[in-house]
Structure 1
Amino acid sequence: MTPMPRLHTHTYATTVTWTGNLGTGTSGYRDYRRDHDITAEGHPLIPGSSDPTFRGDPTRWNPEELLLTALSQCHMLAYLHLCADNGIVVTAYVDHATGTMTTDNTGSGHFTEALLHPQVTVADPDTVEAATTLHDDAHRVCFIANSVNFPVRHRPVTRAT
């Protein structure tokens, strides 16, 4: 009989503070800004807003970008951990992730997919194939990818220095 894995609980706390009151609150759809600040103890402030399509400030992060960023970060961190555990030396990593969201005429919407495009450089040419394969394992253990209800795919490119 296989023993049950022990579960560990991790708790996170953030604060989102709306800063977009122009003096009349939400008296009308066009009468307020979507600006807000995202903070957590010990971290720098992240300026947030809504997507410009929804009257947001294009110079601030929106929730959709932050969700896609969380998926990309989680995959990268899981991947780098697996590479270190498997003796693969990664010297560079960049991911130009994309995500697709659909909305309907009621204003509701959801992500339909996220696609990660990790570009990885490894020190040893003999590890390129193994390094590429580890993306599948990183996807399986990524906390954020395991928490969303839409497909998260990856198309890695691995090269040696």
Structure 2
Amino acid sequence: MSTHTATITWQRGDASFSDGRYSRRHEWRFDGGSVVAASPSPHVVPAPWSDAGAIDPEEAYVAAISSCHMLWFLSLAAERGLVVDAYSDDAVGTMTRVAPGRQAITDVVLRPRIAFAGSPPGAAEVEALHEAAHERCFIANSVKTAIRVESPG
């Protein structure tokens, strides 16, 4: 078993609070020392109380799923003797209303583009690698969001 930590910090500063006119910008600090500027999406909280340049929790969620899948794909490809030169994914998460006043990311689509050194594996082998990566991905195993991989076509 392992643990993973993040410290989330926010300060009001001199802004008012009870009227909702305060910045939601905050920081995520991770155990390795990285600091990330975070904010709600401007689609959820309008500017100036959000920061479009910061990472919002929903896009971080999609990125975490994509990153986890990629890391497992690379590991499994290496185990099979395949050499991956590049991996890029334009992942998309869809926010859906799931009940009155409640929304959730109900679908994440991964669209990886992979460049292999030498002769690339066939489509069936790449699909099998994606299925195995999905089965092993810690994040995918932790969520109930539907996660699909769409190969470029």
Structure 1 residues 23 and 104: CA distance shift in structure 2, 3 A: farther
**Aligned match of 1:5:** none
Structure-2 separation of matches of 1:32 and 1:103: 26
Distance 1:47 1:24 in 2: 19
Q: Percent identity over the alignment?
A: 35
Specify the alignment match of 1:82 in structure 2. 76
Structure possessing the higher radius of gyration over alpha carbons: 1
The runs of at least 4 consecutive aligned structure 1 residues that moved more than 3 Å come to 103-107
Verify: 1:96 aligned to 2:90, yes or no: yes
AA in 2 matched with 1:37: E
Structure 1: any 5+ residue segments left out of the alignment?
A: 1-8
Per the alignment, residue 133 of structure 1 pairs with 128
1:27 aligns to what?
18
- Aligned counterparts of 1:126 and 1:98: Cα–Cα separation in 2: 26
Q: 1:52 aligns with which of 20, 29, 42?
A: 42
1:61 to 55, 60, 63: 55
- SS of residue in 2 equivalent to 1:125: coil
Indicate the residue corresponding to 1:37 in structure 2: 27
Runs of 5+ unmatched residues, structure 2:
none
Please provide the CA RMSD for this pair: 1.9
| 8 Å contact from structure 2 (residues 98, 104) kept in 1 | no
Among 114, 133, 142, the residue aligned to 1:147 = 142
Shift of 1:24: 4.2
Normalized against structure 2, the TM-score is what? 0.88
Give how far 1:116 is off.
0.3
